[in-house]
Amino acid sequence: MIYPTVGSMPYLLLEIITAFIFSSLLLGLHRKVIARVQGRPGPPIVQHLLHTFKFYIKELTIPKTASMPLYIAIVMAMDGVWLLALIIGPILAGPYTILIMCYAVHKVSEHGIGLASGSPYTKMGSTRAVLSATAEMPLVVAPALVFFKTHTLILGGIMSYQMVNGSLFWQFPLAALATFVLVLSKTPYNPFGIVWGKDIISGHKTEHFGVIRGCIMMGEILGFYVLLWCFLTIFFGGIVVTPLDYIVAMTGVTIFLGFICALSPMVAPYHSVMIQWIVALLALVNVIFV
Amino acid sequence: MAIITTIPIIFGIVVNIPLVISIAILTFFVPISTYYFGLVLMARAKSKKEEEERKKITFTGY
């Protein structure tokens, strides 16, 4: 049997499909955990995957107020950005800086998705996307600390450093906490999820139906996988090594995230930013360990 | 459009191309081809539903 070589197109495609299916199952598990904690039976774990595919056969309705072709192009851009992040990060273990840039562009695309439809709810969601972007300090703090310690921002190099010197979690526990809060803020139904808060219907996604909603969900699924992978690789690279380790660790973190999301209410927009800032500033205390 | 946007991906699978070009093709064409395939699926589901509606025997009254 011929296996595709690493870096070839079939190999990349196989990895992308595997990550997509696994991450959508994780998000299904996340919903299940929330439901069980709240005393409900909850949907089956495969529901999130089915939900994504379901949107592909639903009718696409484009609002009259939508600014075309941005309305569709910006969603494609978001999917492309997360695909790039998936290839550069989990698949090739390349530069961490490109992942940060992907993340920044993701925020811009979230803003654009909200603006493109012309609805006041989506505009409110896009405004909150910009506001929440100010809370992404851990995205800068953590790599800076990691760089001064490991002298590299190539993910493969960071992994190699941890194989020799042990996980960075033991050296930067507060930076790990700040990054965990960042991962939490990107999980559905989280206390900091002001962008898609139910007080503004579905936030920036309110006016996106059918195929477009399916594409947005595809991007979010890939994004969740990339963020989880980054968190585990950067801080637990000495413990989480094999694919089986990643499966177990990602499942464990998802269950933990589910507990947090189930038990905490959504905070107000300014409080959300303020709490994340405090955690990020706490992470700076770890500078003394560099 | 669904077929056209899939051609570069199939080309990349069949022919061994450099990594950078593979990444560029995947990040650009996978979302677009997914979108167009979604439109095809949507149109098929819609026409199937309309066909079922058309074939449905309705009671017209006495």
B7-48, pLDDT tens digit by residue?
888 888 888 888 888 888 888 888 888 888 888 888 888 888
Please judge whether A83 and B13 are an interchain contact, meaning their C-beta atoms are less than 8 angstroms apart. Answer: no
CB pairs under 8 A between A and B: 77
Interchain CB distance below 8 Å, A83 and B30: yes
DSSP A153: -
Torsion of CA A182, A183, A186, A191, to 10 degrees: -70
| Tokens (6 digits) for A245 | 């380790």
A52 burial class (0-12, 13-18, 19+ CB within 10 angstroms)?
buried
Helix (H, G, I), strand (E, B) or coil at A237: coil
**Residue from A214, A218, A189 nearest A202 by CA:** A189
Q: Would you say A57 and B41 are in contact if contact means Cβ atoms under 8 Å apart?
A: yes
**Chain A contact for B23 (CB, 8 A cutoff):** yes
Looking at residue A1, its pLDDT comes to 53
Contact B41 A57 (CB under 8 A): yes
CB–CB of B22 and A57 under 8 A? Answer: no
Is the pLDDT at A4 greater than 60, yes or no? yes
**Within a 10 A sphere around the Cβ of B11, how many other Cβ atoms?**
13
Structure tokens at A117: 């439809």
Determine the Cα–Cα distance for residues A24 and A222; give it in Å rounded to an integer: 8
Q: Is B7 on the interface with A (CB under 8 A)?
A: no
**What are the boundaries of each domain within chain B?**
2-54
If DSSP codes are grouped into helix, strand and coil, which group holds residue B46? helix
Whether the CB-CB separation of B14 and A10 falls below 8 Å is answered with no
Q: How far is CA A64 from CA A57, A68, A82, A119, A207, in A?
A: 22, 10, 29, 10, 11
ipTM, 2 dp: 0.79
Cβ contacts (< 8 Å) between B26 and chain A: which residues? 9, 12-13, 16, 83, 87
**CB distance A58–B23 less than 8 Å?**
no
CB atoms within 10 A of CB A117: 25
Mutate to test the interface with B, among A2, A9, A59, A68 (most CBs of B within 10 A): A9
Indicate whether A276 pLDDT > 90: no
Q: Is the pLDDT of residue A100 over 70?
A: yes
User: Under an 8 A CB cutoff, do B13 and A9 touch?
Assistant: yes
B25–A218 CB contact, under 8 Å:
no
- Name the residue in chain B with its Cα closest to that of A72: B35
Residue-wise pLDDT tens digits, A157-198: 999 999 998 888 888 888 888 889 888 888 888 888 777 776
Least confident of A152-166, A192-206, A265-279, B38-52: A192-206
The residue type found at A125 is: G
Return mean pLDDT, chain A.
86
Name which of B35, B37, B40, B49 to mutate to probe chain A: the one with the most chain A Cβ atoms within 10 A of its Cβ.
Answer: B35
Give the rounded percent of residues in chain A with a pLDDT score beyond 90.
30
Q: Quick one: tokens of A139?
A: 């995205």
Q: How confident is the model at residue B62 (pLDDT cuts 50, 70, 90)?
A: low
Question: Distance between CA atoms of A128 and B42, rounded to whole angstroms?
Answer: 32
